[in-house]
Amino acid sequence: MTARVGVVTFPGSLDDRDAARAVRLAGADPVPLWHDDPDLKGVDAVVLPGGFSYGDYLRCGAIARFAPVMNELVPAARSGTLPVLGICNGFQILCESHLLPGALTRNRSLRFVNREQAVRVESTATAWTNRYTEGEEIRIVLKSGEGNFVADDATLDELERSGRVVVRYVGEAPNGARRGIAGISNEHGNVVGLMPHPEHAVEELTGPSTHGLDFFTSLLAHLADTSPAAAAATG
């Protein structure tokens, strides 16, 4: 059965269409989810896309966190069952929801950064990165004004120790992110958030590479591994 992957649209989401397209190119069915509808429609996973949900009012992601669609999403994600990928604004929403530690603050330069960015995949033990190889460098788009990842030292040490730094900027972090962290996961590996945009790097025609596609094919591999049929086969 084809996997069904929800893509949430908040007021101000920009990249929901690209995320849905990436899901389709990876071989899954994208399912549009609406911020004001608490129903997750039985999807197998969810992408929280980039953009400026609720105009970034208050703090990026601070209002989206309380959208009706999050009511079902947050407990399912926290329990480790529902894979969730937060890209850019989606990462900010995951931090505001406390599904991921730390916070995203204003870029150190105060400038919006919009460029192709080399990042290194440092953990392949997640639902969204298992098709990469550890240490692999990929080139995807970074476009954000508040991508400066901060957390206290104890949290950063714990993230490093437990292998939850998923992607790191190659070279100096373009936004000042602590320890060059571009993306992290929760302890189960089902929730991943990152600032750069894998969904913009899935086709030669429109992206800097196709290096982003494996975030989505990784999910399909993960779902195949964790499906009831797979569980029955391995006994």
Partner 1 sequence: MARVVVDVMLKPEILDPQGQAIAGACERLGFSGIRGVRQGKRFEVEVEGEADDAALAEVRRMAETLLANPVIEDFSVRVE
Point out the residues that are catalytic.
88, 197, 199
Residue 11 CA to chain centroid, in angstroms?
19
Binding mask 150-189 for partner 1 (x = CB under 8 A): xxx-----------------------x-------------
**Binding string, residues 77-116; x marks residues near partner 1 by CB under 8 A:** ------------------xx----xxx-xxxxxx------
The residue count for binding partner 1 (CB under 8 A) is: 20
Q: Which of 166, 165, 119 is nearest to 138 (CA)?
A: 119
The least distance separating partner 1 from the CB of residue 178, rounded to whole angstroms, comes to 9
Residues 53-72 that bind partner 1 (CB under 8 A): 58-59, 62, 66
Residues in CB range of 40: below 8 A, 6 or more apart: 6, 33, 46, 69, 72, 73, 76, 82
Give the nearer residue to partner 1 in terms of CB position, either 25 or 150: 150
52 contacts 12 by C-beta, under 8 angstroms? yes
Q: How far is the CB of 151 from partner 1 (least distance, A)?
A: 7
Taking alpha carbons only, the member of 190, 182, 172 closest to residue 141 is: 182
- The DSSP H or E segment spanning 211 is none
Please say whether the dihedral angle defined by the alpha carbons of residues 70, 66, 24 and 211, taken in this order, is positive or negative. negative
Residues 134-153 that bind partner 1 (CB under 8 A): 148, 150-152
**Which residues between 212 and 231 bind partner 1 (CB under 8 A)?**
none
Instruction: Name residues whose C-beta falls within 8 Å of residue 78's C-beta, 6 or more positions apart in sequence.
Output: 99, 186, 191
> Strand, coil or helix: what is 2?
coil
Smallest separation (angstroms) from partner 1 to the CB of 219: 27
- Smallest gap from residue 222 Cβ to partner 1 (A): 28
CB of 97 or CB of 126, closer to partner 1: 97
* Residue 202: Cβ within 10 Å count: 27
As given in the structure block, the two tokens for residue 38 are: 């608490």
51/101 with CB nearer partner 1:
101
Query: How near is the Cβ of 97 to partner 1 at its closest, in Å?
Result: 11
Q: Is the Cβ of residue 13 or residue 105 nearer to partner 1 in the bound state?
A: 105
CB-wise, 40 or 151, nearer to partner 1?
A: 151
One-letter amino acid for residue 190 of the chain: N
What is the Cα–Cα distance from 8 to 5, expressed in whole angstroms? 10
Contacting residues toward partner 1, per CB under 8 A: 58-59, 62, 66, 95-96, 101-103, 105-110, 148, 150-152, 176
